[in-house]
Amino acid sequence: MVGPNIQDNLFHILLRFRKHNYVLSADITKMYRQILVTERQRNLQKILWRSTSDEDINTYQLNTVTYGTAPAAFLSIRSLHEVAYRHLNESPDICNIILHDFYVDDLLTGASTVDEVNNIKVRLSELLIEYGFPLRKWKSNMNTFEHDAESEILHIGDEAQNKTLGLLWNPSADCLQFSINISNCSPKITKRQILSSTAQIFDPLELLSPVTITAKIILQELWKLKISWDESVPSDLHTTWSNYYSRLLNINSLKIPRQILLSNCITKQLHGFCDASQAAYGACIYIRCSDSLGNCTSNLLCSKTRVAPLKLITIPRLELCGSLLLAELVEKVTCDFQPNEITYWTDSSICIAWINSSPHILKTFVANRVSQIQNLAKAEL
């Protein structure tokens, strides 16, 4: 059995990671191998092995959680959470970090002051090592912080997910970057190759939506053509994909500030924008904050895009789909930031008129989406 998903979504972990003045990252040393499987079930983890065909076959029994087995991720995360549950009353702040700031074995947390971050490091290390979860590869954006002697750049997320395009955090520059490792475009381009390359783009916050939506549109065109997996794509799509693929390396030079709030922020505003075209629709959220000295900053927080449905839909209806996408995205973000004010923006007057109407007088397609937007936003655009 795989077991339920009991850890926070990486989307929310990264959003909170971008809030703090000072941040801290680490990972648990050989996490799976630190956890013993109960004795009566170890016989279910037996393997047969011999180095050469001339040797007798040996039987080995694995006593710890084994990478690659269906329940491995759940068992390791649940074991880590058990540490937090046992100490929730005496150290609620540290236990809250264990429950909400770990993505499998990777820690992404922070605080508003240097002393708080140092305190987190000491107390978290002491608690976890007591249960056999030693932390290593410490990194921070603090100048005085002593980094572990391993690679300074942090790869965020499962390494298996980001073989081609990975999300990185550079502690010294305190910025998010993307690392792309692509080969030359093959002379023969197929639907299988395009889908494989697109699926490997790892961007949890969708900061690259203007880039990735192009790949999604190309894929939709391929589905329309109903060509087989290994058949060469038509010449026009071949040219479009080749040009797109060759420019992907430019993303390596992109640097996005990790910290999105001022150090002494007193007001936070969320501004959500949505738009649509015949090919796609999308939404993005900016966070604007100000301090007591009158300083203001505005940063892109996240975004979301979708290709338009294959069935032809009018632009106003696509704009409405974009508005719903924005309302859903704002709801996801609000719990992590508790903004003082939320503003929704769209340039579609028809869409605004629909949203300000009672759903019962509208057609079913429009009424359903208007009702959802009104429930999520609870305010007029």
Percentage of residues in the chain having pLDDT higher than 70: 95
Q: Is the pLDDT of residue 165 over 90?
A: no
Q: Residue 212's pLDDT band (boundaries 50, 70, 90)?
A: very high
Q: What is the pLDDT of residue 163?
A: 39
Q: What is the pLDDT of residue 181?
A: 75
Q: Tell me, rounded to whole angstroms, the distance of Cα 148 from its chain centroid.
A: 25
Q: Residue 155's pLDDT band (boundaries 50, 70, 90)?
A: confident
Structure tokens at 50: 């011999």
Give me the helix-helix angle, 10-17 and 315-337, nearest 10°: 60
Half-sphere exposure of 324 (CA within 13 A, CB side): 16
Residue 285 near residue 333, CB atoms below 8 Å: yes
Cα-based angle 58, 59, 62 (whole degrees, multiple of 5): 135
Structure tokens at 323: 């508005």
- Which single residue is written with the structure tokens 């508003």? 112
The amino acid at residue 84 is: A
Residue 166 near residue 202, CB atoms below 8 Å: yes
Q: Is the pLDDT of residue 292 over 70?
A: yes
Q: What is the pLDDT of residue 179?
A: 83
Q: What is the pLDDT of residue 248?
A: 87
User: Phi and psi at residue 18, in whole multiples of 5°?
Assistant: -85, -5
Q: What is the pLDDT of residue 183?
A: 72
Average pLDDT (74-89) is 97
Q: What is the pLDDT of residue 298?
A: 96
Of 31, 48, 30, 44, give the one whose Cα is nearest residue 1: 44
β-strands 265-276, 341-345: how paired?
parallel
229-280: pLDDT as tens digits: 999 999 999 999 999 998 888 998 999 999 999 988 999 999 999 999 999 9
Q: What is the pLDDT of residue 198?
A: 84
Q: What is the pLDDT of residue 378?
A: 78
pTM (two decimals): 0.90
Q: What is the pLDDT of residue 48?
A: 95
Q: Tell me, rounded to whole angstroms, the distance of Cα 44 from its chain centroid.
A: 34
